[in-house]
Amino acid sequence: MYILERRSTPRNFGLKVFLIKVQSIPDSKFEIRDSGIWNLESGIQYYAGSATLKILVTGGAGFIGSHIVDAFLSAGHEVCVVDDLSTGFRHNLASGVPLHVVDIRDPRLSDVFAAEKPEVVCHQAARANVRESFENRCSMRK
Protein backbone atom coordinates (compact mmCIF):
# COMPACT_ATOMS: atom_id res chain seq x y z
CA MET A 1 0.00 0.00 0.00
CA TYR A 2 1.28 3.48 -0.87
CA ILE A 3 0.12 6.32 1.31
CA LEU A 4 0.67 10.05 1.69
CA GLU A 5 1.24 11.20 5.25
CA ARG A 6 -0.14 14.68 5.92
CA ARG A 7 0.76 16.66 8.99
CA SER A 8 -0.27 20.29 8.98
CA THR A 9 2.18 22.98 10.05
CA PRO A 10 1.58 26.63 11.07
CA ARG A 11 0.27 28.90 8.33
CA ASN A 12 2.88 30.87 6.40
CA PHE A 13 1.84 33.64 4.02
CA GLY A 14 -1.74 32.36 4.07
CA LEU A 15 -0.72 28.91 2.80
CA LYS A 16 -1.40 25.83 4.86
CA VAL A 17 1.62 23.60 4.35
CA PHE A 18 1.56 19.83 4.67
CA LEU A 19 4.59 17.65 5.16
CA ILE A 20 4.08 14.73 2.82
CA LYS A 21 5.99 11.51 2.50
CA VAL A 22 5.13 8.56 0.35
CA GLN A 23 5.53 5.21 2.03
CA SER A 24 5.25 1.63 0.95
CA ILE A 25 4.11 -0.46 3.90
CA PRO A 26 2.54 -3.93 4.17
CA ASP A 27 -1.28 -3.78 4.05
CA SER A 28 -1.56 -5.74 7.30
CA LYS A 29 -0.40 -2.72 9.33
CA PHE A 30 -3.33 -0.54 8.23
CA GLU A 31 -7.04 -0.25 8.72
CA ILE A 32 -9.20 1.73 6.29
CA ARG A 33 -11.92 3.84 7.91
CA ASP A 34 -14.24 6.56 6.58
CA SER A 35 -11.94 9.23 8.01
CA GLY A 36 -8.79 7.88 6.37
CA ILE A 37 -6.20 5.16 6.66
CA TRP A 38 -4.95 4.38 10.16
CA ASN A 39 -1.56 2.91 11.02
CA LEU A 40 -2.43 0.24 13.59
CA GLU A 41 1.02 0.34 15.19
CA SER A 42 1.47 4.10 15.65
CA GLY A 43 -2.14 5.33 15.61
CA ILE A 44 -1.29 7.93 12.95
CA GLN A 45 -4.04 8.81 10.49
CA TYR A 46 -3.05 9.05 6.85
CA TYR A 47 -4.67 10.78 3.90
CA ALA A 48 -7.26 8.52 2.35
CA GLY A 49 -7.04 9.97 -1.14
CA SER A 50 -10.73 10.83 -1.39
CA ALA A 51 -10.21 14.56 -1.94
CA THR A 52 -8.47 16.22 -4.87
CA LEU A 53 -5.67 18.52 -3.79
CA LYS A 54 -3.99 21.39 -5.63
CA ILE A 55 -0.28 20.50 -5.37
CA LEU A 56 2.68 22.67 -6.39
CA VAL A 57 5.89 20.70 -7.00
CA THR A 58 9.15 22.65 -6.96
CA GLY A 59 11.77 21.03 -9.17
CA GLY A 60 8.97 19.13 -10.88
CA ALA A 61 10.63 19.07 -14.31
CA GLY A 62 13.63 17.13 -13.00
CA PHE A 63 13.99 13.36 -13.01
CA ILE A 64 12.66 12.69 -9.51
CA GLY A 65 10.24 15.62 -9.44
CA SER A 66 8.59 14.62 -12.71
CA HIS A 67 7.95 11.10 -11.39
CA ILE A 68 6.37 12.59 -8.26
CA VAL A 69 4.21 14.81 -10.49
CA ASP A 70 3.11 11.70 -12.41
CA ALA A 71 2.22 9.93 -9.15
CA PHE A 72 0.13 12.89 -7.96
CA LEU A 73 -1.65 13.06 -11.33
CA SER A 74 -2.35 9.31 -11.21
CA ALA A 75 -3.88 9.78 -7.78
CA GLY A 76 -6.26 12.37 -9.28
CA HIS A 77 -4.69 15.54 -7.91
CA GLU A 78 -4.32 18.85 -9.72
CA VAL A 79 -0.61 19.62 -10.10
CA CYS A 80 1.45 22.63 -11.15
CA VAL A 81 5.23 22.84 -11.35
CA VAL A 82 7.88 25.45 -10.52
CA ASP A 83 11.29 24.77 -12.08
CA ASP A 84 14.08 26.99 -13.38
CA LEU A 85 14.96 24.30 -15.97
CA SER A 86 18.64 24.46 -14.99
CA THR A 87 18.67 20.64 -14.89
CA GLY A 88 15.03 19.77 -15.61
CA PHE A 89 13.25 19.57 -18.95
CA ARG A 90 9.77 20.53 -20.16
CA HIS A 91 9.45 17.17 -21.92
CA ASN A 92 9.60 15.40 -18.54
CA LEU A 93 6.13 16.77 -17.73
CA ALA A 94 2.83 15.35 -18.88
CA SER A 95 0.98 17.58 -21.31
CA GLY A 96 -1.33 20.03 -19.62
CA VAL A 97 0.71 20.39 -16.42
CA PRO A 98 1.29 24.12 -15.83
CA LEU A 99 5.02 24.93 -15.70
CA HIS A 100 6.25 28.16 -14.13
CA VAL A 101 9.87 28.77 -15.12
CA VAL A 102 11.02 30.54 -11.95
CA ASP A 103 13.96 30.03 -9.61
CA ILE A 104 12.68 29.27 -6.10
CA ARG A 105 14.93 32.09 -4.78
CA ASP A 106 13.26 34.64 -7.08
CA PRO A 107 10.75 37.05 -5.46
CA ARG A 108 8.41 36.35 -8.42
CA LEU A 109 7.70 32.98 -6.78
CA SER A 110 5.10 34.76 -4.63
CA ASP A 111 3.23 35.63 -7.86
CA VAL A 112 3.08 31.91 -8.71
CA PHE A 113 1.63 31.13 -5.27
CA ALA A 114 -0.92 33.93 -5.63
CA ALA A 115 -1.99 32.65 -9.06
CA GLU A 116 -2.01 28.90 -8.34
CA LYS A 117 -3.18 28.92 -4.69
CA PRO A 118 -1.75 25.47 -3.87
CA GLU A 119 -3.00 23.53 -0.86
CA VAL A 120 0.19 21.44 -0.73
CA VAL A 121 3.80 22.14 -1.66
CA CYS A 122 6.08 19.22 -2.49
CA HIS A 123 9.61 20.66 -2.45
CA GLN A 124 11.99 18.79 -4.77
CA ALA A 125 14.10 21.68 -6.11
CA ALA A 126 17.78 21.27 -5.28
CA ARG A 127 21.24 21.37 -6.70
CA ALA A 128 22.36 17.80 -7.22
CA ASN A 129 26.05 18.66 -7.55
CA VAL A 130 27.40 18.92 -4.00
CA ARG A 131 30.86 20.00 -5.19
CA GLU A 132 29.31 22.95 -7.07
CA SER A 133 27.43 23.96 -3.91
CA PHE A 134 30.66 24.08 -1.90
CA GLU A 135 32.80 25.76 -4.57
CA ASN A 136 30.21 28.44 -5.42
CA ARG A 137 28.56 29.11 -2.07
CA CYS A 138 27.89 32.78 -2.78
CA SER A 139 26.15 32.12 -6.09
CA MET A 140 23.99 29.43 -4.48
CA ARG A 141 22.68 31.88 -1.87
CA LYS A 142 21.85 34.83 -4.15
Mean residue pLDDT of the chain comes to 75
Is residue 45 over pLDDT 90? no
Is residue 74 over pLDDT 70? yes
Which DSSP string corresponds to 40-86?
A: TTT--EEB-S-S--EEEEETTTSHHHHHHHHHHHHTT-EEEEE---S
* Nearest Cα to Cα of residue 74 among 57, 46, 98, 49: 49
Can you name the residues that pair with 58 across neighbouring β-strands? 82, 123
pTM of the model: 0.64
Q: What is the mean pLDDT of residues 30-56?
A: 64
Q: What is the pLDDT of residue 92?
A: 96
